[in-house]
Amino acid sequence: MARADKQAAVAEIAEQFSAASGAVLTEYRGLTVAELQQLRRSLGENANYAVVKNTLTKIAAKQVGIEGFDDLLTGPTAIAFINGDVVEAAKGLRDFAKANPALVIKGGVLDGAPLSANEIGKLADLESREVLLGKMAGAMLASLTQAVQLLNAPIAQAARLAGALQAKAEQDPTILAGGAAEPAAAEEAPAEA
């Protein structure tokens, strides 16, 4: 590969690192071309899966400030540059690796921080973004419902108290006078006698 071609390849890899929210390094030794195409399809539009040269990738990673890749860049390497949902892409890689043991997940990077293969597995075990957002919205709705019930409790209690007072007043009208009607009647009675 000519020097100009190498520089262009390094620039392209560096650009993909910069544009991606995450990247997963894999070893693809033993996979057929058809299996690699199947892997690319399983990642969908969220990721770009590219076979890369290790030395050029090391240079590109250093250019964009990514550390910790040197140990991972051995043997045949391909990188899944993830532009969308990182969890979905990690699940796609994990599921493909289960079905095709020749694919080995080496590690990766997420928002500039290096990830081990185990951490990528933990990412794949997370629920999708939509499910997590749905759970968060449900929790917020439950909290709002509890707040409304808490704020309505004094009003409801006052309404029950007013209803009980009305029922009592219908049975004994003097209850609303606070019992003042009886002593006034008692005072007037002795004056007439």
Q: Where are the domains of the chain?
A: 3-126, 128-173
- What is the pLDDT, as a whole number, of residue 10? 86
Three-state DSSP state, 70: coil
- Alpha carbon distance 92, 25 (integer Å): 14
* pLDDT (0 to 100) of residue 73: 85
Determine the average pLDDT of the residues in 143-151. Answer: 79
- Give helix then strand counts, H and E, for the chain: 7, 5
C-beta of residue 128 within 8 angstroms of C-beta of residue 85: yes
What is the dotted CATH code of the domain comprising 3-126? 3.30.70.1730
Q: What is the pTM of this model?
A: 0.62
Computed over every residue of the chain, the mean pLDDT equals: 81
* pLDDT of 127 strictly over 80: no
How high is the pLDDT of residue 30?
86
Pair 91, 67: CB distance under 8 Å: no
